[in-house]
Amino acid sequence: MAESPNAAPITPTPVAPFSAPMTGGLTFELAGRPAKYTVLYFYPKDNTPGCTTESINFREAYPEFQALGAEIYGLSRDSLRSHENFKGKLGLPFELISDPDEAVCTQFNVMKMKNMYGKQVRGVERSTFVIDAQGRLVKEWRGVKVNDHVAEVLEFLKSQP
């Protein structure tokens, strides 16, 4: 499979620790994650067509991610209540992180000006980041197109030693 032009090869770089509320009454803490890899996918909004498709694609591939030692977390600016409803509606087996104050979105530089129906609006650029067990960013995709994206992330993880 050809890699997306938006997938950037990077030198592993430390990610500043952060915490944020997530579904299930839990708090996401980057420090001390037990998973070999943490996959953070940033998406614009719950219950929109592209975000629903992307979340379903991650849900369907979830067992494969787990087999590779990866945990998945979706993240948007939506409220925890919205996230709980979205997660329940789609039957997502992973947690969703709420970032209404955009602290995590800003840290990962995913807030962008976008065209929506001919108007400039500020929103989340669909992006995915893979962080290793040492808390280092090892891969990123920005300006993600939903089709085949989850397969690209899986292929990257399968290529790791």
d(CA 83, CA 68): 26
Where would I find the H helices in the chain?
49-67, 80-90, 103-107, 149-158
Q: Sign of torsion, CA 160 155 93 129?
A: positive
The encoded tokens of residue 75 equal: 């993240």
CA dihedral 152, 42, 121, 85 (to 10 degrees): 120
Examine the residue annotation and report whether 105 is marked as an active-site residue of this protein: no
Catalytic residue among 15, 20, 51, 138: 51
Token pair 């952060």 in the structure block, residue: 18
Please name the residues in contact with 21: beta carbons below 8 A apart, sequence gap of 6 or more: 27, 28, 80, 97, 98
Question: Which position has the token pair 């087999």?
Answer: 67
Alpha carbons 9 and 7: distance in angstroms, whole number: 7
Active site (catalytic) residues: 51
